[in-house]
Structures are given as C-alpha cells and as structure tokens.
Amino acid sequence: MSAVIIDGKATSKKIREGVLADINKLSELGVKAGLAVVIVGDNPASRTYVNNKKKACAECGIYSEEYALPEETTEEELLALIDKLNKKEDINGILVQLPLPKHISEDKVIAAINPDKDVDAFHVQNVGKIMTGDFDFLPCTPAGVMALFEEYGIDVSGKRAAVIGRSNIVGKPMSMLLLHKNATVTICHSRTKNIEEILKSSDIIVAAVGREAFLKGDMVSEGCVVIDVGINRNAEGKLCGDVDYEEVSKKASFITPVPGGVGPMTITMLMKNTLKAACLQNNINI
C-alpha cells in the first residue's frame, strides 16, 4: 500500500485565498485587520518564523507590525509593550514569538495579552474555552491538523487516535480537538507504558514529540492515518519530522511530509485567527 501524501502547501494556499477574500470584504466595510508580532532576541529559528508570518500577512492582506526587541529587554518593558498593543485599535491580534529569553516569564507574558487579541490561543481563558468546546480561537498547529483532516475527507469520529506528546501548544489542545470530533483519544508521553501496543491499535496517530524518526514502521497498523508535527534537523542538517517517513509511508493510508505538511498550515491558521479577531472586535459576521 502506498500512502496518500497530505499536501499542506496546497491546502494552505487554498485557505489563504479564502482569508484574503474575507479581508477584502472587511476592508469594503472600512475595517483593516492588524497583527502585531513581537520577537525578543535573535534566535535564528524564531527570526525565520517571524519573517514567514510577515510574508503570510502580506499575502492575505493583513496589516502587520513587527517589534524586534533586544535580548536584554526586561520583563517590565515587554509587559509595557503588550499593554500598549492591547489598547491599540488598529491591532486585532498580538503574537509574542516563543521561546523568550530565560529572564522573562512566558506565563506572565501570555497572561498579559488581552484574550480577545490572543491569536495563538495560549491565554488560560482561551485554553479553558477549548476545553468546553465553546472557543473563539484555536492554537494554530492543532487547528491546521484538523483543517487537513477536513480537506482530505478524513472522518475522525469513532476512531482511535493517539497523540504522542503532551505540550500545551500541540499535544493537549490536539487531543481536545480530536475529542470534540468524537475520536477516542490516548495521549502518549515519556512515561507511557506499552506505547507500541497503543500506537499499533490506533487508526490515527499525531506525532508531536520532537524526536527525529521516533515513529517507526513497526509501530503503526496498516491503513493508519499519520500526522507528523515534528520539526527536527537530522545529522546532515536536513529538516525532518518525528516520523520515519520512508518506513511509515509504506503502511499508512494518509501521511504528512516534513517539510510541506503541517508546517505551512500553522501560519495559515494564524491568519484565520487574526481575521476572526478583527471580525469579533468590530461585531462583523462575514
């Protein structure tokens, strides 16, 4: 069996075209959607992400502002900037690029963002809404995975799903979104016993563990749907995921590649969240 390759680039392009069309409708009503991106220090990976976000904003017709702060910026200075952005009427979404330097508390920073402008959906208020299923914003990576299921007609209802990883950014919200769509979900992590048995009996596996080629061919069942959220670099410096693509693609029915799978979807869902924030803040339904 040869797996269907889930094309995140093509799906992302399609969704961005829809966002641009809606942004154009907003501008006809005199509303401009705006996103502020804050980066502290010069982490190369963070810089790449921020550049990609700015590029996506330009592509979708979203106004963007970048605040690049030096590494030695104090927590107080960053919190003061967030307070200013919370009050800025032309900014609908605020994104603080993580990780932050060690002397700044990520929890304090996330808590300072107005939940109505929290387009990353990391604020505890938005996390609580995700738990109950009554949410405005979803974390971008899990939302991107759900959009790929939809695009490829993969029905998760009644299926056994395993999520490898329990981070607040991917693992936990991913499991909640699958649960909301009536999947039976197991969260696997470093302390999980008999992980191979769990994975082999799963219809859907979402790998978000951050370990190169963690998921091997002998750990999945024939016809399993495999989503690779991992972004790692191998010994040659090439981008690769948490899934041994060569082995697993021979058994899976659907699989996401790295790069070109979940990655493009993450930034696209950020654009969708910014559009939604602009609509909510202006009481517009489009």
Burial 190-204 (b: 16+ CB within 10 A, else e): eeeeebeebbeebbb
Domain count of the chain? 2
pLDDT tens by residue, 81-92: 999 999 999 999
Burial 47-71 (b: 16+ CB within 10 A, else e): eebbeebbebbebbbbbbbebebee
The active-site residue out of 22, 53, 244, 276 is 53
Does the residue 181 lie in any domain?
yes
| Confidence check: pLDDT of 125 > 80 | yes
Same domain, 147 and 107: no
Does the residue 3 lie in any domain?
no
Torsion angle of alpha carbons 101, 107, 108, 113, nearest 10°? 100
Same domain, 109 and 178: no
How far is Cα 144 from Cα 26, in angstroms, rounded to an integer? 23
Supply the CATH number for residue 64's domain.
3.40.50.10860
pLDDT tens by residue, 147-177: 999 999 999 999 999 999 999 999 999 999 9
And the tokens for 42? 């010069």
Query: Catalytic annotation on 53?
Result: yes
Within a 10 A sphere around the Cβ of 279, how many other Cβ atoms? Answer: 20
With pLDDT > 70 as the criterion, what percentage of the chain qualifies? 100
Does the residue 195 lie in any domain?
yes
pLDDT band at residue 235 using 50, 70 and 90 as cut-offs: confident
Does the residue 285 lie in any domain?
no
Q: How many whole angstroms from its chain centre is CA 210?
A: 14
Does the residue 25 lie in any domain?
no
| Residue 199, C-beta contacts closer than 8 angstroms, at least 6 positions apart | 162, 164, 188, 205, 215, 219, 220
| Residue 160, C-beta contacts closer than 8 angstroms, at least 6 positions apart | 183, 184, 186, 201, 202, 203, 204
Query: Catalytic annotation on 102?
Result: no
Supply the CATH number for residue 228's domain.
3.40.50.720
The active-site residue out of 22, 120, 228, 242 is 120
Which domain does 63 fall in, by range?
30-115
Same domain, 197 and 259: yes
Does the residue 167 lie in any domain?
yes
pLDDT computed for residue 1 by the predictor: 66
| Confidence check: pLDDT of 119 > 80 | yes
Query: Could you identify the residue written with the tokens 């948490």?
Result: 242
Bridge partners, residue 268, by sequence: none
pLDDT computed for residue 100 by the predictor: 97
Same domain, 144 and 111: no
The active-site residue out of 22, 97, 118, 272 is 97
pLDDT band at residue 137 using 50, 70 and 90 as cut-offs: very high
Same domain, 151 and 212: yes
Same domain, 101 and 153: no
Peptide bond into 99 cis (omega under 30): yes
Domain closes at, from 46, 81, 115 = 115
Query: Catalytic annotation on 281?
Result: no
Same domain, 109 and 192: no
Same domain, 176 and 247: yes
pLDDT tens by residue, 252-275: 999 999 999 999 999 999 999 999
Same domain, 95 and 154: no
pLDDT computed for residue 268 by the predictor: 97
Does the residue 281 lie in any domain?
no
Same domain, 188 and 222: yes
pLDDT tens by residue, 24-71: 999 999 999 999 999 999 999 899 999 999 999 999 999 999 999 999
Same domain, 103 and 160: no
Within a 10 A sphere around the Cβ of 82, how many other Cβ atoms? Answer: 22
DSSP 226-263: EEE---EE-TTS-EE-SB-HHHHTTT-SEE--TTTSHH
The CA-CA-CA angle for residues 269, 117, 24, to 5°, reads: 60
Same domain, 181 and 108: no
| Confidence check: pLDDT of 183 > 80 | yes
Does the residue 6 lie in any domain?
no
